[in-house]
Structure 1
């Protein structure tokens, strides 16, 4: 990317919080080590003066950042929701989907949102592909069965989805969610005639997207901790060999998880190759 401003800092100064703050403001930048100093490069002339102003505010103590995520200290939960509106909407729809089995006492709405229709009285699943009801291809990602299911998926969605939305925008995040969600649901439906639901396939897609992007764009990478990525991949492998079922966690939609991860990797590679802001 073209560089319009170059600022130097001592190596011992931690710029992680300020870097995250800049990404939250959607300001492209990179940090490199040159001649024994950290160098901050800003890729837009229009942002140069604003970045200098923020640095001056930090020096005066007027801008205090949270070291954990680069957000100004004291920011409210509501403020975080407003900063990631797409993630907030996805979370809300997931919560509604988790509450639906309790709210839909007559069992009339839930069967219309699963990939395959089923009888609320006998539980019989009908092998009917949703060609005439295309919303069924995506709607299962919002259905959750149990408190732990929605809690863990909501946490991962907030963490991973928030990174993508903050850095690359609402359209990019929703595009990944829609494509991964549809792909993982179709793949799972092809493997078994059962009722399934959850955001897990999408979450693994978000992980795959970030892994691929970070591989091709190391100077614009997401702050994804390697330990977190390895944990998620390890858990996927353990579920595929039956550990989750052995622990009494129920049946796991392994096909949705694996296909979501692969689709996310593909989308991440394509996005990194087509993006119009090349690394310096």
Structure 2
């Protein structure tokens, strides 16, 4: 066992003990003199317990209210009631940016399957040459994320955008999702362009960026809305590695995937740092 803290505040200890237990952390409380001591009974939970204690101290009422919302099924980051319609369930899992961008990607995909296809591709691809970045048209650094060339490609990316982007937006807000979209999209597009030229497209770099963010911000925090099960993590990483082999039946923008993941990991680290300093300021 390892002692986490000691206090004379019986009410605070009672609330904190309940909060940690609800988050799945094995803790116990003992008396020592005129103080109450909080202990974690398994050493593997120490880091998680310390994070949760910091969150609790920063906003005790807020974290308890979040637990109550989750228990009642009303928290925006949890699944809606099972009797809700599929449309309602999908909408409750996303925010305005998630929804609007998915709609835009869908409209572009439909246009790419009409006579507008060539003009659409020429307008949205990153560059008209194999060597020059579009400094005079900087939006082209991002617009390749709108391009999808097969139904499977389109559905795969929109699904993961909704799954990861929706949870990210509901947790951190629309502004943070826009930043992640731009940073991961531009970085992955530029890296892919440098390797293969302008003939590529897709949202996969952003998807892997959001995946990287989730890996970092939810690390050892199983109660976090972006916490990913190990099976999903393994699937994403195996798919990434398979892209570098000849085993897949489709052409994969491997550099965009890897660059997106790298940029997402750095954004996740930045978010953890921001959260840490917010806790310090609120302590």
- TM-score bracket, shorter-length normalisation: 0.7 to 0.9
Tell me the alpha carbon deviations over residues 151-198 of structure 1, each in whole angstroms, 9 at most, x when there is no partner.
111111111112211211111111111100000000000111241110
Alpha-carbon shift at residue 47 of structure 1 (Å): 3.8
After superposition, residues 66-145 of structure 1 pair within 5 angstroms as 69-76=78-85, 77-78=87-88, 80-81=90-91, 83-105=94-116, 107-117=118-128, 127-145=131-149
**Correspondence for 1:173:** 177
Segments of structure 1 that go 5 or more residues without pairing to the other structure are 16-29, 118-124
Distance between the aligned counterparts of 2:265 and 2:220, measured in 1? 11
Do the aligned residues in 1 keep the contact of 2:112 with 2:121 (CA within 8 Å)?
Answer: yes
User: What is the aligned counterpart of 1:35 among 4, 28, 34?
Assistant: 28
Alpha-carbon shift at residue 272 of structure 1 (Å): 0.6
| 1:214 to 2:218 alignment | yes
**Correspondence for 1:253:** 253
Tell me the alpha carbon deviations over residues 237-271 of structure 1, each in whole angstroms, 9 at most, x when there is no partner.
11112322xx3x2x211110111111111111121
Distance between the aligned counterparts of 2:242 and 2:64, measured in 1? 50
Alpha-carbon shift at residue 73 of structure 1 (Å): 3.7
- Give the structure-1-normalised TM-score: 0.73
- Give the structure-2-normalised TM-score: 0.72
Alpha-carbon shift at residue 108 of structure 1 (Å): 2.5
Aligned to 2:113, the other structure's residue is in SS state helix
Distance between the aligned counterparts of 2:127 and 2:67, measured in 1? 56
Do the aligned residues in 2 keep the contact of 1:216 with 1:269 (CA within 8 Å)?
Answer: no
Q: How much is the aligned-residue C-alpha RMSD, in angstroms?
A: 3.6
Report the structure, 1 or 2, having the larger helix content: 2
Do the aligned residues in 2 keep the contact of 1:64 with 1:73 (CA within 8 Å)?
Answer: no
Do the aligned residues in 1 keep the contact of 2:171 with 2:225 (CA within 8 Å)?
Answer: no
Segments of structure 2 that go 5 or more residues without pairing to the other structure are 1-10, 30-39, 41-48
Going from structure 1 to structure 2, the CA distance change for 1:135 and 1:70 (only over 3 Å counts) comes to same
User: What is the aligned counterpart of 1:224 among 202, 218, 228?
Assistant: 228
Alpha-carbon shift at residue 104 of structure 1 (Å): 4.3
Distance between the aligned counterparts of 1:102 and 1:126, measured in 2? 25
Do the aligned residues in 2 keep the contact of 1:213 with 1:221 (CA within 8 Å)?
Answer: no
Distance between the aligned counterparts of 2:173 and 2:234, measured in 1? 26
Distance between the aligned counterparts of 2:28 and 2:104, measured in 1? 50
| Runs of 4+ that moved beyond 4 A | 39-43, 48-55, 63-66, 216-221
Distance between the aligned counterparts of 1:261 and 1:203, measured in 2? 8
Do the aligned residues in 2 keep the contact of 1:204 with 1:264 (CA within 8 Å)?
Answer: yes
Alpha-carbon shift at residue 45 of structure 1 (Å): 5.1
Alpha-carbon shift at residue 85 of structure 1 (Å): 1.6
| 1:146 to 2:172 alignment | no
Distance between the aligned counterparts of 2:271 and 2:64, measured in 1? 29
Tell me the alpha carbon deviations over residues 127-157 of structure 1, each in whole angstroms, 9 at most, x when there is no partner.
4421111111000001111110111111111
**Correspondence for 2:45:** none
Going from structure 1 to structure 2, the CA distance change for 1:51 and 1:189 (only over 3 Å counts) comes to closer
Alpha-carbon shift at residue 33 of structure 1 (Å): 2.7
